[in-house]
């Protein structure tokens, strides 16, 4: 099945080999771009535009968060295609849009990177370096998700030709390169971004995450932009993907031990404006102004129901009925005997705008799961400790007893499954090529 799926996706990829569509960029003319790169505000507008592109419904505004992949992973009662036929007319337009929209935004990112280094004199307070670092991190993040979506699992396929890694702003045909080389380029971008963030003094390094800071608030709300700790966490994720557990553990523990992120408090999980995304645990997230509209559109549809029957679904995913996610992130549609995720049912209100309409990209819990998995063989007691801490901060009253009797590897994989179900995004462990 995997070979069949990979063949189908390879055919899909080859359909884009001319690279003519996805290098069309947002500025309508080169004159627009030439004007923007002459001012500090122009560069900032270009960066803001790339974040807006990320929340396009073809990307993290819908499909890459709670859309097509959830259907493919059978987390809904609906599946977008039958027999994983990725050339089906039912799903091909969605796949095409993920590819083209992602590369279009990469082109916009490269439009920034083409000239930012020679125009740092336009900026003050290290903002030019931080802007460049955010662009580099976005480029690495986007290519990594494209790799996971459109290439087979890394281990054993390192030399397999996968996707283009686009690093320049020009209209040329970029070759598809091997998975191994894609990963090398991801780390090159992340290493440079890390140094820029650190040298420029990213405010998040001083423990500020959602506070106001900087001229025109450009450096405010660091959890809602790519930041220094997002680089560390993304490195942990990529190293885990290529099965380098030593480095994955190193970066995951750095985030856990040195980052400014805190476990969610149960007191904020209830009420009219409940914190359904566990804001204090967000390492990097996106603000999606239309998320409430998207939620009302998609989750009132029966196809986005999670399963038939409340008790059947809830406790088969969350073993402890005290789990915060079981208690507060599921809706029981008794009339239709359905379970619906309420995670993205986030109504904005004036006192806490950014805590609403939020799509997480990387969270603290993932770092604990990575660190636990990396410790299974050599330090099983440490793996148990990490899993116990995570489960206790999810409300599990049975965490200590359960983990003492459970082999840590089994527990770790169970927690991965529950985390993915709560996130409604199979990005940690799956790709189109490996589903099925």
Inside any domain, residue 64: yes
Q: Which of 350, 303, 416, 376 is nearest to 68 (CA)?
A: 303
Average pLDDT for 72-89? 82
Average pLDDT for 160-182? 95
- pLDDT 10s digits, 390-417: 999 999 876 655 555 555 555 665 665 5
Predicted pLDDT at 128:
96
**What 8-state DSSP symbol labels residue 39?**
S
Tokens coding 372: 């636990």
Average pLDDT for 202-209? 84
- Asked whether residue 105 carries a pLDDT value surpassing 80, the answer given is yes
With tokens 């099983």, the residue in question is 380
Inside any domain, residue 398: no
The answer to whether the CB of 232 falls within 8 A of the CB of 251 is yes
Tell me the whole-structure pTM to 2 decimals: 0.86
Inside any domain, residue 276: no
Q: Of 142-151, 317-326, 404-413, which gets the smallest average pLDDT?
A: 404-413
Inside any domain, residue 44: yes
- Asked whether residue 427 carries a pLDDT value surpassing 60, the answer given is no
Predicted pLDDT at 32:
85
- Asked whether residue 213 carries a pLDDT value surpassing 70, the answer given is no
Inside any domain, residue 418: no
Q: Of 74-83, 96-105, 128-137, which gets the smallest average pLDDT?
A: 74-83
Rounded Cα distance between 262 and 95, Å, is: 36
Predicted pLDDT at 157:
95
Predicted pLDDT at 80:
80
SS3 341: strand
Predicted pLDDT at 207:
79
- Asked whether residue 171 carries a pLDDT value surpassing 60, the answer given is yes
- Per this entry, what is the length of the chain? 436
CATH of residue 160: 1.25.40.390
Query: How many domains are there within the chain?
Result: 1
- Quick one: pLDDT band at residue 76, thresholds 50, 70, 90? confident
- pLDDT 10s digits, 341-366: 889 988 766 555 556 789 999 999 99
- Asked whether residue 419 carries a pLDDT value surpassing 80, the answer given is no
Average pLDDT for 221-239? 97
Number of helices (H), then strands (E), in the chain: 17, 7
- pLDDT 10s digits, 178-190: 999 999 999 999 9
Predicted pLDDT at 45:
94
Burial track 92-124 (b if 16+ CB lie within 10 A, e otherwise)? eebbebbbbbbbbbbbbbbbbbebbeeeeeebe
- Quick one: pLDDT band at residue 420, thresholds 50, 70, 90? very low
- pLDDT 10s digits, 268-319: 998 878 899 999 999 999 999 999 899 988 887 778 887 655 556 666 777 7
Inside any domain, residue 266: no
With a pLDDT cut of 70, the percent of the chain lying above it is 77
Average pLDDT for 46-60? 97
Q: Which of 251, 201, 215 is nearest to 231 (CA)?
A: 251
Average pLDDT for 29-42? 84
Rounded Cα distance between 390 and 150, Å, is: 31
- Quick one: pLDDT band at residue 75, thresholds 50, 70, 90? confident
Inside any domain, residue 174: yes
Inside any domain, residue 342: no
Q: What is the CB neighbour count within 10 angstroms for residue 350?
A: 5
The answer to whether the CB of 128 falls within 8 A of the CB of 116 is yes
Average pLDDT for 240-261? 97
- Mean pLDDT, the chain, whole residue set: 82
What's the domain range around 194? Answer: 2-199
Q: Which of 148, 127, 146 is nearest to 138 (CA)?
A: 146
User: Which element (helix H / strand E) includes 125?
Assistant: none
Helices (H), 242-347: 245-258, 291-298, 310-317, 324-328
């Amino acid at each position: 099945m995997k070979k069949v799926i990979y063949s189908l996706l390879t055919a899909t990829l080859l359909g884009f080999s001319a690279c003519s569509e996805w290098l069309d960029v947002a500025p309508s003319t080169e004159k627009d771009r030439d004007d923007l790169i002459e001012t500090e505000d122009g560069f900032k507008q270009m960066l803001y535009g790339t974040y807006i592109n990320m929340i396009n419904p073809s990307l993290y505004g819908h499909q890459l968060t709670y859309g097509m992949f959830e259907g493919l992973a059978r987390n809904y009662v609906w599946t977008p295609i039958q027999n994983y036929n990725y050339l089906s007319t039912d799903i091909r337009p969605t796949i095409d849009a993920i590819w083209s929209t992602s590369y279009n935004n990469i082109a916009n990112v490269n439009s920034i990177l083409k000239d930012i280094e020679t125009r740092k004199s336009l900026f003050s307070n290290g903002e030019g370096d931080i802007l460049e670092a955010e662009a580099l991190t976005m480029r690495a993040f986007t290519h990594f998700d494209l790799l996971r979506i459109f290439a087979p699992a890394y281990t054993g396929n390192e030399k397999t030709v996968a996707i283009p890694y686009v690093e320049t702003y020009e209209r040329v045909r970029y070759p598809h390169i091997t998975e191994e080389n894609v990963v090398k380029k991801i780390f090159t971008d992340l290493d440079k971004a890390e140094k820029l963030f650190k040298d420029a003094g990213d405010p998040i390094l001083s423990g500020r995450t959602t506070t106001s800071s900087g001229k025109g608030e450009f450096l405010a709300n660091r959890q809602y932009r790519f930041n220094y700790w997002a680089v560390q966490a993304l490195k942990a994720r990529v190293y885990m993907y290529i099965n380098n557990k030593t480095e994955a553990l190193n970066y995951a523990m750095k985030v856990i031990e040195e980052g400014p992120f805190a476990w969610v408090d149960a007191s904020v999980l209830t009420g009219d404006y409940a914190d359904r995304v566990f804001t204090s645990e967000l390492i990097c997230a996106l603000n999606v102004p239309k998320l409430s509209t998207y939620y009302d559109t998609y989750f009132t549809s029966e196809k986005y129901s999670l399963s038939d029957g409340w008790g059947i679904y809830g406790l088969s995913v969350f073993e402890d009925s005290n789990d915060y996610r079981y208690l507060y992130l599921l809706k029981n549609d008794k009339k239709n005997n359905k379970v619906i995720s309420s995670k993205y049912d986030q109504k904005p209100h004036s006192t806490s705008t950014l805590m609403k309409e939020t799509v997480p990209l990387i969270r603290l819990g993932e770092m604990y799961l990575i660190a636990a998995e990396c410790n299974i063989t050599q330090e099983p007691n440490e793996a148990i400790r990490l899993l116990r801490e995570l489960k206790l901060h999810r409300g599990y009253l049975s965490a200590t007893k359960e983990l003492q009797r459970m082999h840590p590897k089994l527990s770790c994989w169970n927690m991965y499954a529950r985390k993915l179900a709560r996130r409604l995004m199979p990005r940690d462990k799956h790709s189109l090529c490996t589903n099925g």
